[in-house]
Structure 1
Amino acid sequence: MGFTNENAGYIAAQTAKRFLDAGYSVRGTVRKLASARPLLEDGLKEYSQAGKFEVVEVPDITVDGAFDEAVKDVTAIAHMASPVSFFFKDPEPVLHAAINGTKTILNSALKAGPQLQTVVYTSSITAVKSAKEPHYVYDESDWNDYAEKEVERLGKDTPGPIIYSASKVAAEKAFWAFREEKKPSFTMTAINPVFVIGPPLIAPKTESAVGETIRLIWTVFSGAPFPLPVNGFNFTVDVRDVAALMLYIASSAAGGPQAIADILRKELPETRGRIAEGNPGKGYNKEYTVPDGEIDINSEKGKALLGGWIPYEKSVVDTAKSFVGLV
């Protein structure tokens, strides 16, 4: 199996482990081989030593033919290489990398050989979710019809989160356009996860290494003041579920800083002296469901496929445990 990821990152590492544990061989790609050293020498060491896990260098994912060698003889491709940040300043290079990185891997897939069975693209809920009225429930048929228009209107003044959203919309559209135009023999699937939490395969060694989507758990765990909840971004799914799923919308719970604090103070009593108490039980539903009347996300197809999601409490606690060496 082959997977692509430009920084040997959070979701890709857990995805590689998932497939390795299932008996597949995995070939990953990174821009610089040095970035994969922790995976080869620590996180997936037993597999790399056994010849089951290898990494090859692809310096520029947007160059046509960049993945031709990497995808030779693979039976499946999981494409995860796309810029990820909510602090982008210029939409042009971000959209270029997202769109053309998707096109190049698909063009290379056509040359991979008849053994290739499927290509899975990691999109995002931001390609689905837009500005709907309360009570609306999003599902796989929805598209974000807002972000790309805002980029056209605002240019370099576009806020970072909207640039990211536009890049995911444009890249996924390119993905499906390829299927319609080329009609490849392999199947094509997109996964649309919400905010991904859960433990990194390799625990961060420094605070700066903590990823953006799990930074909220780190902030609460470290004892810092609670940040204000971001409207519409309290939906979460465990990284291990995303790795197992690779299909449909992935969304399992709706929490927030107060829920995280309550869970950690209960499940990790040693943190009570550090984590702020806040207002226990306030600001979230007991079962971490979406409050009545608010916009929701339908992820029942993914839930049924996996037989259930990893519980929100477990995701929070397991993530926090990876930060123990940082406080």
Structure 2
Amino acid sequence: MPAISTGNVLITGTNGFVGSWALKVFLQSGFTVRAPVRSESKASYLKKVFGAYGDRLEFVIIPDITKEGAFDTATVGVDAVVHIASPVGLDVDHPDELIIPAVNGTLGVLRSAAKVHSVQRVVYISSCAAVVNRTATEPRVYDENDWNQHDVDVCQREGRAAAQVSMYCASKTLAERSAWEFWKENKDKGVIGWDLVSLCPPWVFGPVVHKDEGGPDDLNDSNKFVYDAVVKGQYFPVDLAFIDVRDLAQAILLAVTKPPAGGERIIVAAGPFRWEDLIITAHEVSGGKTYPPIESYNPDAPYMARTNVAKAKELLGLGYRTQEEMIKDLLKEYEERGWL
């Protein structure tokens, strides 16, 4: 059950929504962070935001994270690895355009970590997209034993005719499975001494730390969906769960530092939601400034997809911000930017 409470951590994806918050939390907790970026220019914004941490933040240039041995140098001397970076595009021509880089990028990080004796813990950020079957017709509760095989089968059967969301979900399922297969095979052989933890968050919302200097249309995908729903009333039917990005960042820290988390797959989610729920909450906390609630919506209807987060509570001791707390902070951000 190796874990660390201080030391050097490699975090991929720090230019992104989740990665930038993870970077902030680890630096605030006293860790030294090594952050891979594709180019020097990609590091400039984070250098400005986190400049006060001095030499506790180091950037390494990795132009292509899917290249063989891309992380070999970056992992030297680190005590833990957090892999967040993954393709998230929903505009590709074939499932392989998402699946291959997701799997190869994940395996590349793990192979490099396997060459380094200092590494104690690897945390892989998966997704509830690798857990939940979106086509289920009856309400159910998902736990860590569940895998989304449905979208994998759809992509294998339909290829480029598969829905974009199926391609994305399949990439998350196959990338996480490849991580567990690699770890179990090499752990059994005694090749590696570190433990693997995978975190499966659902929709991730909340304030931003990463570079985001445009308008609402330039927000990361999940936050843009929130803005469009609560301000414009534009949304599509969804029945899943959410987590505030700040709680996910804390979960990542705990996944590195809590010994019992080693070797575990853990769902982290604050609770179920529909876009109509967020619209109602935003209208209430904004004093009527946002989109009005949909009259035909029944908030008491059962949620199709709920998540069992008992393991996260038991192993990580993780707590969650409420939907109201998250929406309040998002609306504050909208107002500060002149979007509301």
TM-score of the pair, normalised by structure 1: 0.88
2:138 to 134, 139, 143: 134
Q: Which runs of 5+ in 1 are unaligned?
A: 286-290
Match of 2:258 in 1: none
1:233-244 → structure 2 map (5 Å cutoff): 234-244=240-250
User: What are the equivalent positions in structure 2 for 1:22-61 lying under 5 Å apart?
Assistant: 22-42=29-49, 44-47=50-53, 50-61=54-65
Instruction: Return the offset for 1:36.
Output: 2.7
Residue 159 of structure 1 corresponds to which residue in structure 2?
163
1:295 aligns with 2:305: yes
Please name the residue that 1:67 is paired with: 71
State whether residues 20 and 209 of structure 2, in contact with CA within 8 Å, keep that contact through their aligned partners in structure 1: yes
Distance 1:293 1:39, change over 3 A: closer
Q: Is the 8 A contact 1:36 1:55 kept in 2?
A: yes
Report the Cα distance in structure 2 between the residues aligned to 1:90 and 1:20, rounded to whole angstroms: 38
Q: CA deviation at 1:318?
A: 1.5
Q: How does 1:69-84 map to 2 (within 5 A)?
A: 69-84=73-88
CA distance in 2, matches of 1:162, 1:254: 21
**2:19 is the counterpart of 1:12:** yes
Residue matched to 2:261: none
Which deviates further from its counterpart, 206-215 or 101-110? 206-215
Structure 1 residues 168-177 or 203-212, which shifts more?
Answer: 203-212
Structure 2 match to 1:208: 217
Residue 178 of structure 1 and its aligned partner are, at CA, apart by: 0.6
Q: 2:122 aligns with which of 96, 119, 124?
A: 119
4+ runs deviating over 4 angstroms: none
1:266 Cα deviation after fit: 2.8
Aligned mates of 1:266, 1:293 — CA distance in 2: 22
Q: Which residue of 1 aligns with 2:4?
A: none
Residue identity matched to 2:128 = I
- The 8 Å contact of residues 67 and 108 in structure 1, kept in 2 or not, is answered as yes
Q: Which amino acid is 2:124 matched to?
A: Y
Could you tell me the TM-score, scaled by structure 2's length?
Answer: 0.85
**2:233 matched to 1:225?**
yes
* Residue among 308, 325, 329 paired with 1:318: 329
One-letter amino acid of the counterpart of residue 24, structure 1: F
The yes-or-no answer on 1:284 pairing with 2:302 is no
AA in 2 matched with 1:208: D
* 1:96 matched to 2:100: yes
Counterpart code for 1:28 = A
Deviations 1:3-60 (A, max 9, x none): 112x710000101111111100111112223223221112x2322xx21112211111
* 1:83–1:94 CA contact under 8 A, matched in 2: yes
| Contact residue 286 and residue 331 of structure 2 kept, 8 A | no
* SS of the residue 1:196 aligns to: strand
Query: Are 1:119 and 1:186, in contact at CA under 8 Å, matched by a contact in 2?
Result: yes
3-state SS of paired residue (1:279):
coil
Shift of 1:307: 4.4
What is the identity percentage for the equivalent residue pairs of Structure 1 and Structure 2? 28
CA contact (8 A) 1:147 1:163 kept: yes
CA separation in 2, counterparts of 1:283 and 1:33? 50
Please state whether the residue corresponding to 1:217 is helix, strand or coil: helix
Q: How many residues align?
A: 311
- Aligned residues: CA RMSD: 2.1
Alpha-carbon distance in 1 for matches of 2:318, 2:65: 35
Matched to 1:245, the amino acid is: A
Give 1:90 deviation, angstroms: 1.9
Q: Which residue of 2 aligns with 1:288?
A: none
What is the distance in 1 between the residues matched to 2:279 and 2:59?
Answer: 38
